[in-house]
């Protein structure tokens, strides 16, 4: 029996269908005082706990000289000759992939994990942002490293980028995992786009408490899943708001939010030509009720041509399940990717 089937059976027995605590407008986490030891943090993530050193590639973005950071981690187990490309979500950089990187490198994969421009250790230019440019920047990293093909894994916003990367550079991708993605529907016809200035002014009001409330949505299904890792990333993001450079980061974040609104990738799905797994926690509440998320993940898989789509969702886990239960998520992800190893 495959390991992910055994894990799924275990999770079902332990957790059942999960609950949506906090999904009905209630405060998800009990309030806590704002930490008194919180200090200004670098918007280039100098204090972030990256699991490996970063490399840098110089680029030009709208005539601005910038650099994109990425980790390039060699396998720790016997090398299997394959590379996994990890694409992070909107509230993170590559720093939160530590457990996944450990699992992949132990299984013999080389791992490349960029910080997209505007995130993590990469530059924060005030310029237009779009998934096509992010995909191109990622391809330039692979060319810099002499990598011809990857297995692409994208979490949250990274799931949208991994989708676009796969359709823009089909010869570069041999297998795709779309992991608790956002962008599962085109919502442009439900509401008008908010002006960037209005988004910017709202982001400028961000502090520790609002950051904690925002990230707590990831454990709305089970507030007890909030742990030291979620708290650490809350502190990191809140530290940026105390930096004198935060207005620049706030504008970058505002522009990126417009990108997420303007560029749904749902129309890319029919153009994916590789085995694709719609993967992650089944109790993701970012779209509303978890049932909506599960339905859209099934639509995603069903839309992949030639029967190449598959769904694997774990009950009881939310939007960032590798921070909740890496012991469940990492082995299942590794097993799926190993199916593509000859």
Question: How many Å apart are CA 193 and CA 20, to the nearest integer?
Answer: 29
pLDDT of 18 > 50? The answer is: no
Q: Report whether pLDDT(10) > 90.
A: no
User: How many angstroms separate the CA atoms of 284 and 324, rounded?
Assistant: 12
Residue 160 pLDDT more than 50? yes
Place of tokens 């990274």: 158
Number of domains making up the chain: 1
CA 290 to chain centre: 18
The strands making up 173-179's β-sheet, listed across from edge to edge, are: 54-61, 64-73, 110-115, 83-87, 150-155, 173-179, 276-281, 309-314
Within a domain: 249: yes
Task: Tell me what pLDDT residue 308 has.
Answer: 98
Residue 333 has pLDDT above 80, yes or no: yes
175, with CB counted inside 10 A (0-12, 13-18, 19+), is: buried
Whether 170 has a pLDDT exceeding 50, the answer reads yes
Q: Which of 105, 109, 152, 103 is nearest to 4 (CA)?
A: 103
Name the pLDDT band for 6 (thresholds 50, 70, 90): very low
Does a structural domain hold residue 187?
no
Residue 188 lies in a domain: no
What is d(CA 170, CA 274) in angstroms, rounded to the nearest whole number? 8
> How far is Cα 155 from Cα 153, in angstroms, rounded to an integer?
7
pLDDT digits 0-9 by tens, 228-246 = 999 999 999 999 999 999 9
Q: Report yes or no on 189 lying in a domain.
A: no
Which pLDDT value is given to residue 116?
Answer: 98
173, part of any domain: yes
Q: 261 lies in a domain?
A: yes
* Model pLDDT, residue 27: 84
How far is Cα 211 from Cα 257, in angstroms, rounded to an integer?
16
Return the CATH number at 36.
3.40.50.1820
Does the pLDDT of residue 164 top 90, yes or no? yes
Q: What percent of the chain has pLDDT over 90?
A: 91
Q: Let me know if residue 281 belongs to a domain.
A: yes
Q: 316 pLDDT exceeds 90?
A: yes
Identify the band that residue 12 occupies on the pLDDT scale cut at 50, 70 and 90: very low
Instruction: Evaluate whether residue 127 is within a structural domain.
Output: yes
- Please write the tens of the pLDDT for every residue from 53-84: 999 999 999 999 999 999 999 999 999 999 99
Name the band, by pLDDT with cuts 50, 70 and 90, for residue 342.
confident
Band (2; pLDDT cuts 50, 70, 90): low
Mean pLDDT of the chain: 93
Q: Mean per-residue pLDDT for 239-264? A: 97
User: What are residue 107's DSSP bridge partners?
Assistant: none
Q: Please report the pLDDT score of residue 24 as a whole number.
A: 40
- If you average pLDDT over residues 168-186, what whole number do you get? 97
For the chain, the three-class secondary structure string (H helix, E strand, C coil) is CCHHHHHHHHHHHHHCCCCCCCCCCCCCCCCCCCCCCCCCCCCCCCCCCCCCCEEEEEEEECCEEEEEEEEEECCCCCCCCCEEEEECCCCCCHHHHHHHHHHHHHCCCEEEEEECCCCCCCCCCCCCCCHHHHHHHHHHHHHHHCCCCEEEEEECHHHHHHHHHHHHCHHHEEEEEEECCCCCCCCCCCCCCCCHHHHHHHHHCCCHHHHHHHHHHHHCCCHHHCCHHHHHHHHHHHHHHCCCCHHHHHHHHHHHHHHHHHCCCCCCHHHCCCCEEEEEECCCCCCCCHHHHHHHHHHHHHHCHHHCEEEEEECCCCCCHHHHCHHHHHHHHHHHHHCCCC
Evaluate if residue 19 carries a pLDDT over 90.
Answer: no
Cβ atoms of residues 21 and 28 within 8 Å: yes
Domain that holds residue 28: 3-182+194-338
DSSP β-bridge partners for residue 89 = none
Choose among 154, 108, 1: nearest CA to 342. 108
């Amino acid at each position: 029996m495959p390991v992910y089937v055994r894990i799924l059976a275990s999770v079902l027995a332990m957790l059942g269908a999960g609950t949506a605590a906090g999904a009905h407008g209630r405060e998800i986490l009990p309030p806590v005082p704002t930490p008194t030891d919180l200090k200004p943090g670098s918007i280039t993530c100098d204090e972030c706990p990256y699991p490996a050193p970063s490399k840098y590639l110089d680029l030009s973005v709208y005539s601005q000289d910038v650099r994109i950071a990425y980790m390039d981690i060699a396998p720790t187990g016997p090398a299997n000759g394959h590379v996994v490309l990890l694409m992070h979500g909107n509230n993170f950089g590559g720093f939160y992939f530590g457990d996944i990187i450990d699992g992949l490198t132990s299984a013999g994969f080389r791992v490349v994990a960029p910080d997209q421009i505007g995130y993590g250790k990469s530059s924060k230019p005030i310029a237009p942002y779009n998934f096509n440019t992010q995909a191109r920047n990622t391809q330039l990293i692979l060319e810099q490293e002499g990598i011809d093909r990857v297995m692409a894994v994208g979490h949250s916003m990274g799931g949208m980028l991994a989708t676009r990367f796969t359709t823009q550079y089909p010869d570069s991708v041999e297998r795709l995992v779309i992991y608790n993605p956002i962008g599962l529907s085109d919502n442009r016809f439900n509401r008008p786009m908010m002006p960037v200035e209005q988004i910017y002014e709202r982001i400028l009001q961000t502090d520790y408490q609002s950051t904690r409330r925002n990230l707590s949505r990831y454990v709305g299904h089970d507030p007890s899943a909030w742990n030291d890792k979620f708290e650490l990333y809350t502190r990191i993001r809140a530290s940026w708001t105390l930096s004198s450079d935060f207005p620049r980061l706030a504008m970058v974040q505002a522009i990126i939010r417009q990108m997420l609104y303007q560029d749904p990738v749902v129309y890319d799905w029919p153009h994916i030509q590789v085995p694709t797994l719609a993967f992650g926690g089944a109790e993701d509440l970012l779209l509303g009720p978890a049932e909506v998320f599960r339905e859209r993940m099934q639509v995603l898989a069903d839309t992949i041509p030639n029967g190449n789509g598959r769904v694997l969702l774990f009950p009881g886990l939310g939007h960032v399940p590798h921070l909740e239960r890496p012991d469940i998520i990492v082995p299942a992800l590794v097993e799926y990717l190993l199916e593509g190893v000859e």
